[in-house]
Structure 1
Amino acid sequence: MATFSYIGRDQSGRKTSGQINAETRVNAITVLKEKGIATTEINEYKQNVFTKEITITTALKPRELVIFLRQFAALLEAGVSVVQSVQILQEQSEQKSLTRVLTTIQEQVQQGESLSNAMGTHVKFFPPMVIQLTRVGEVSGNLDEAMSRLADYFEKRYEMRQKVISALTYPALLGMVAIAVLNVMLYIVIPRFTSMYANTGKELPELTQAVIALSEFGNRYWWGTLLAIGIFFIGLLMCLKNDTSRFYIDYAILKVPILGRILQKTLIIEFSRTLSSLFTSSVPILQSMTITQNIINNTVYKRMIGEAFASVEEGNSMTVPMKRHRVFPPLVLHMISIGEQTGNLDVMLMKITTFYEAEVEHITERLQALLEPILILILSVVVGIIVLSVVLPMFDLYQNINL
């Protein structure tokens, strides 16, 4: 597909210019004519190394996706056609990658392609759930409701993640400040006192000797510390790329005290909300499980959902493999089992979501309240030990002078 620069006049007679993507020059003129623009000049736009715009098409950020879906739903509810809605969103978008994608989608829809199929050509930009529920909305004739439901889903998902992130942000910052302070004291402050104590010829207290030895080791072998950190992170990245090692790492993270519990409950929320939203939209159960498996970002849960998929495909309950992995509490398994037996699985999954959302919010509030004083106490103790190691020899020197 080529890019054409054009100059023309719109329906009101005003001069307009811009660029348009089309297969041929004739197609470009036809598309512009359909938009009410009479072209007076049109030429293929040749890009070189200096004029070519370098862009990277990536998926929409969670907040941007929510805004896009909300605006799309509002336009459809107002009676605006799909083509016009896409055009309006494309014109008001400030993100270049979104503008480019929407321009392509608009052209595809104008040529008779469905919106879901047009979105499906940009799988790296739109999540699978958006494409699937858009297709369901098109078939049922309730595309506006589908977009609104998607906006609700991604908004709640975004809010839950933000709560967890905000609860851990301050402790993380405090931890980084603590590490910075300790490095300054060990590798800048302590060496200055070391040279002063060396001139006294007195034997230093054991605590002072230990702190000085740690400081000298850090100053002498700083490159080894950096090398070890680098090797650790490179090894970690290599392990994360391997499916087997990634599984065990994810499983170990789930067993970390407090943080593992928060992650486990967050994954349960994501699993139950996604599956419930898909069931509510009349997406078949096996297809819903496949989409949920792609959305979950944890290999333990991915493998569990894959085994649950095989169990359902064979006509059994999805809770059978869930019990083996022990990543779901008994309460969740019982509620899913009841939902399967009564035919109200979507309702039960939404109840699980509501319950664990309250749980996560409560835990994060308690964690934030506990971590701050604990980190401050640890920092105070460590700094106190370093300061004490500096002060103790001064007391000895002062006593010797008085004697």
Structure 2
Amino acid sequence: MGIYAYQGRDRQGNKTKGQVNADSRIGAVTLLKERGIAATEVTEHQKTMLNKEITINKGMKPRELVVFLRQFSALLEAGISVVKAVEILEEQTDYKQLKQALDSMKDLVQEGESLSLAMERHPNVFPPLVVHLTRVGEVSGNLDSAMIRLADYFEKRYEMRQKVISALTYPVLLGVVSIAVLNILLYMVVPQFTSMYASSEQELPQLTKWVIAISNFSVSYWWVMVTIILMVLIALYFLRKKEPGKYYIDYAILKVPLLGSILQKTLLIEFSRTLSSLFTSSVPILQSMTITRNVLGNAVFKKVIDESLQAVEQGNSMTAPMRGEWPFPPLVVHMILIGEQTGNLDVMLNKIAQFYEAEVEHTTDRLQTLLEPILILFLSIVVGVIVLSVVLPMFGLYENINL
């Protein structure tokens, strides 16, 4: 999906311009025609330094989005019109991108454009899921309920991600401190003792020789290690730009012990929660699966969902391609199949999300409990070995002095 900027005229002959999400320029023109806009110019939105502020931010901050949706639904429930609600929120928000978007939306809605179309003109602020469920709410006349449902969805998504981040923050911080301590020892402490031992002609213990060799290599060839790390990062960056490369990198990440399992469960939660929200809002199944696919950022999951989309288009169950695919455990496949057979797919998907939310919470708690002592023990052993290698030759020097 790309972002296309357009200029044209609406059904009333008024000049209009904005942005639209589409797979291609032709797709953008077709989409604009369906909305009654005769496009005179359609260009792909280029990611340059001139529009960096627009393109770098891929969306509103999750917390800001939740607050906006909660406030919007409260205003609508209070009987305030959409235009007035947008105006109130535009006046009170401090978030620059949202303020600009609401200012533009206020004028568009006053001119008769629907709220969902006005939102769609600002893809860097409002995710596609917000646009689609807003459109469903407008059609059904339950816009306030749609906003509440969206707020619940994004709030649960935000809370789950925060739990994972908070669980991993301390181990990552401890890992960074460990690397810093090791570098200080190898680059600053060990070389000082090396010069001292070089002046004495005694035979050094094998452990001390190994540590000195590692220290000498680190001091002399640090640029080699930095170059290798940079080359690996650059290679990974360009690999992720290509579809096959992104798939294999995402596959490898999912296979990382412990962390890969947490990520897999988090993706299953997003898949189930998104699809359930769309089904609850009566969005057609093919459209729901397409939106869900675009919400997930993992290429491995996207591949399986693409195959499920093809199966549904052919009149088969969406679970057929999922069977035997390790990203989707048998529990998930069976529950989705039961949901399809009973007509309660949205309920079953919601149960899947709840189940894995509890699983992720327990796993992150256990991971945090286990990783902390393991990392501390590892750091203690490594530092202890380095200190021991430095201290051991001192006993020899002391004995020589006494003799």
For Structure 1 versus Structure 2, the TM-score category normalised by the shorter chain is 0.7 to 0.9
User: What do the CA deviations read for 1:290-337 (whole angstroms, capped 9, x no partner)?
Assistant: 000000010000111111011011110111111242211111111011
1:114 matched to 2:108: no
**Match of 2:320, SS?**
helix
Structure-1 residue corresponding to 2:229: 229
Q: Report whether the alignment pairs 1:83 with 2:83.
A: yes
Structure index of larger Rg: 1
Tell me the CA shift for residue 23 of structure 1.
Answer: 8.1
**Distance across 2 between alignment mates of 1:347 and 1:101:** 34
- TM-score, normalisation: structure 2: 0.86
Residue segments in structure 1 that go unaligned for 5+ positions in a row: 1-21, 25-51
Task: Calculate percent identity across the aligned residue pairs.
Answer: 67
2:319–2:337 Cα contact (<8 Å) kept: yes
Q: Which amino acid aligns with 2:247?
A: F
2:284 aligned residue: 284
**Aligned residue number for residue 4 of structure 2:** none
Shift of 1:54: 9.1
Report the equivalent of 1:245: 245
Who is 1:175 aligned against?
Answer: 175
Q: Which runs of 5+ in 2 are unaligned?
A: 1-13, 17-49
The corresponding residue for 1:148 is 148
CA contact (8 A) 2:190 2:212 kept: yes
Deviation at 1:252, TM superposition (A): 1.5
Deviations 1:346-376 (A, max 9, x none): 1110111111110000000000000000000
Q: Report SS of the residue matched to 1:218.
A: helix
Query: How far has the Cα of 1:249 moved from its partner?
Result: 1.2
Q: Deviations over 1:5-38 (max 9, x none)?
A: xxxxxxxxxxxxxxxxx989xxxxxxxxxxxxxx
Work out the number of aligned pairs and report it: 355
* 1:401 and 2:396 aligned: no
What TM-score, normalized by structure 1, do the two folds share?
A: 0.86
Once the two structures are superposed, residues 16-71 of structure 1 have per-residue CA deviations (whole angstroms, 9 ceiling, x without a partner) of xxxxxx989xxxxxxxxxxxxxxxxxxxxxxxxxxx99954632011110001001
> Deviation digits for residues 81-134 of structure 1, max 9, x if unmatched?
000000001111112221111111111000000000111111222111000000
Q: Distance in 2 between matches of 1:371 and 1:332?
A: 29
Counterpart contact for 2:60–2:124, Cα < 8 Å: no
> Helix, strand or coil: the match of 2:337?
helix
- In 1, distance between residues paired with 2:194 and 2:204? 10
The AA in structure 2 aligned to 1:389 is: S
Equivalent residue, structure 1, for 2:209: 209
Asked if 1:327 corresponds to 2:327, the answer is: yes
Task: Report the CA distance between 1:177 and its aligned residue.
Answer: 0.2
**Is contact 1:69–1:150 with CA below 8 Å preserved after alignment?**
yes
Query: Are 2:356 and 1:356 equivalent residues in the alignment?
Result: yes
Looking at structure 1, the residues matched to 345 and 209 of structure 2 have their Cα atoms a distance apart, in angstroms, of 65
Task: Confirm whether residue 98 of structure 1 aligns to residue 88 of structure 2.
Answer: no
CA RMSD of aligned residues (A): 1.7
8 Å CA contact 1:55, 1:97 repeated in 2: no
